[in-house]
């Protein structure tokens, strides 16, 4: 690629950023922080981060979202907050700048990412399957839509969806909901099929994709389609906290189901490598990963127990076993920690080649379990209903720290156990080739997913809950 191509790419992305800033101003005057010139500079700056590189649509989209979130931290929450009232990086500055977060994600992150992918060119891929993407993604979308629909039924959200076609019918709302769920699932398969190395990464990409659709759907598109005034304020977003959790749960279910279908499809129709096959069978690898995961989860659970003890949450954990003592709560917690560690081992085997990647995957998994645990499964196991509200999320915020500590520690211990076992296997050239195939080249989606999902997701939880 020549210098002229670089200049053309920077100019195209600069124009994309400028148009995005104009659109942001049209949708919300509060969100237009920085003006058109910021959009122009951000587009050119985004191209400088990914120059002269073939970037596929899925990674490019996530890099655009991560870039938009980082830009929001630097400009509205950082520099402009310091210049205006000295509240640089404060919660008050972040709440005041919340409309610009939505605007940056929707009007800058999405178009910059997709246009950057178009600059790489659309060319046929021998390792991409449209039927696998659309069929697998569509089925995953139905499964995720069913889970999300449970919350929508509980709060009476379906008639609001039906308002898109000027109706108040629950049945029309259900139909539209599943149609949208299938479309989102199919686009997930098309965007991320070539990025998935295992079910763990598929879940993480799915959760990040679900978070993106919360910005696109309830906050932006739904008011426009139902002819309601748009509102990107933190106060309005707080009323949609249940929808935020629902989109994340939808996304991780889509990622899980699609990862299973993708793996099965490849095993049935594509994978055939008698010369470079794995040194151990699927069953051996799975049971070994479960053992490593349970060990790692036990270590992570011990660290997490400090948070539970300090917050007085162990008696509540004991209620899962019909008791209320601290000792029983600790025993139940350690059992659950080992079981969740086992699922980490199954889902994330071979995903992390180094410590930073392991910690990042672990933090993502811990964050996911904060949504699944205190807000979803814990109330259900106690005989109630899941509580996706700010009233329930607020008291659970201290547990978020524990979940992140648990995830990072579990992932690190698992990596050490996996490395110890694989050290001698790398003497086999087949294992070296297999390990090389699993490594993610520069520019793929994993680091962007970590930054966007963890950064924006944790910021949203703290600001809204």
The reported pLDDT for the residue numbered 350 is: 84
Sign of CA dihedral 377, 380, 385, 391: negative
The reported pLDDT for the residue numbered 137 is: 97
CA distance 199 to 440: 15
The reported pLDDT for the residue numbered 268 is: 77
Tell me how crowded residue 346 is: count the other CB atoms within 10 A of its CB: 16
- Residues with Cβ within 8 Å of residue 218, at least 6 apart in sequence: 240, 243, 247
Helical pair 199-216 and 170-192, crossing angle rounded to 10 deg: 130
Domain boundaries, given as residue ranges, for the chain: 3-119, 135-269, 282-464
Helical pair 57-74 and 199-216, crossing angle rounded to 10 deg: 60
The reported pLDDT for the residue numbered 274 is: 52
The reported pLDDT for the residue numbered 277 is: 56
Give the pTM. 0.94
The reported pLDDT for the residue numbered 410 is: 98
The reported pLDDT for the residue numbered 80 is: 84
Going residue by residue through the chain, which has 465 residues, state the pLDDT in tens, using 9 for 90 and above.
567 778 899 999 999 999 999 999 999 878 777 778 889 999 999 999 887 777 889 999 999 999 999 999 999 999 888 887 656 778 888 999 999 999 999 999 999 999 999 998 766 566 788 999 999 999 999 999 999 999 999 999 999 999 999 999 999 999 999 999 999 999 999 999 988 888 999 999 999 999 999 999 999 999 999 999 889 999 999 999 999 999 999 999 999 999 999 988 887 776 655 555 555 566 778 899 999 999 999 999 999 999 999 999 999 999 999 999 999 999 999 999 999 999 999 999 888 888 999 999 999 999 999 999 999 999 999 888 888 999 999 999 999 999 999 999 999 999 999 888 766 555 555 555 555 555 555 457 899 999 999 999 999 999 998
Length of the chain (residues) = 465
**Tens-digit pLDDT profile for residues 183-216:** 999 999 999 998 888 899 999 999 999 999 999 9
CA distance 435 to 431: 6
- Residues with Cβ within 8 Å of residue 307, at least 6 apart in sequence: 313, 398, 399, 401, 402, 405
Tokens 């569509």 sit on residue? 138
Write the DSSP string, 363-412: HHHHHHHHHHIIIIIHHHHTTS----SHHHHTTTHHHHHHHHHHHHHHHH
């Amino acid at each position: 690629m020549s210098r002229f191509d670089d200049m053309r790419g920077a100019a195209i992305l600069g124009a994309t950023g400028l148009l995005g800033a104009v659109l942001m101003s049209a949708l919300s005057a509060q969100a237009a922080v920085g003006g058109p010139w910021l959009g122009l500079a951000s587009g050119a700056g985004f191209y400088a981060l990914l120059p002269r590189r073939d970037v596929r649509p899925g990674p490019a989209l996530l890099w655009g979202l991560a870039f938009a979130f980082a830009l929001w931290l630097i400009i509205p929450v950082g520099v402009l907050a310091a210049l205006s009232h000295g509240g640089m990086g404060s919660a008050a500055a972040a709440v005041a700048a919340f409309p610009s977060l939505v605007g940056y994600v929707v009007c800058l992150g999405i178009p910059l990412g997709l246009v950057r992918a178009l600059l790489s060119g659309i060319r046929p891929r021998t390792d991409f399957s449209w039927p696998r993407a659309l069929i697998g993604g569509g089925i995953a979308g139905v499964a995720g839509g069913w889970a999300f629909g449970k919350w929508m039924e509980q709060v009476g959200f379906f008639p609001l969806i039906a308002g898109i076609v000027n109706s108040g019918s629950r049945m029309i709302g259900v139909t539209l909901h599943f149609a949208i769920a299938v479309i989102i699932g199919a686009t997930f398969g098309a965007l991320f099929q070539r990025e998935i190395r295992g079910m763990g990464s598929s879940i993480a990409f799915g959760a990040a994709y679900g978070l993106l659709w919360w910005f696109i759907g309830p906050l932006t598109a739904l008011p426009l389609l139902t002819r309601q005034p748009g509102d990107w304020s933190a106060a309005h977003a707080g009323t949609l906290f249940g929808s935020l959790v629902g989109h994340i749960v939808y996304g991780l279910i889509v990622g899980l189901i699609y990862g299973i279908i993708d793996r099965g499809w490849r095993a049935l129709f594509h994978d055939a490598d008698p010369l470079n096959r794995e040194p151990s069978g699927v069953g051996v690898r799975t049971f070994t990963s479960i053992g490593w995961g349970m060990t790692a989860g036990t270590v992570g659970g011990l660290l997490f127990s400090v948070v539970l003890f300090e917050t007085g949450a162990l008696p509540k954990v004991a209620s899962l076993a019909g008791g209320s003592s601290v000792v029983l709560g600790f025993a139940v917690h350690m059992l659950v920690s080992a079981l969740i560690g086992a699922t980490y081992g199954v889902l994330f085997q071979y995903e992390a080649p180094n410590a930073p990647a392991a910690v990042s995957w672990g933090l993502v998994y811990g964050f996911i379990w904060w949504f699944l645990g205190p807000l979803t499964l814990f109330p259900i196991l106690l005989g109630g209903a899941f509580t996706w509200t700010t009233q329930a999320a607020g008291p659970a915020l201290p547990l978020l720290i524990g979940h992140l500590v648990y995830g990072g520690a579990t992932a690190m211990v698992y990596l050490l156990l996996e490395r110890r076992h694989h050290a001698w296997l790398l003497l086999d050239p087949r294992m070296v080739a297999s390990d090389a195939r699993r490594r993610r080249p520069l520019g793929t989606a994993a680091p962007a997913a970590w930054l966007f999902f963890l950064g924006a997701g944790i910021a949203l939880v703290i600001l809204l809950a």
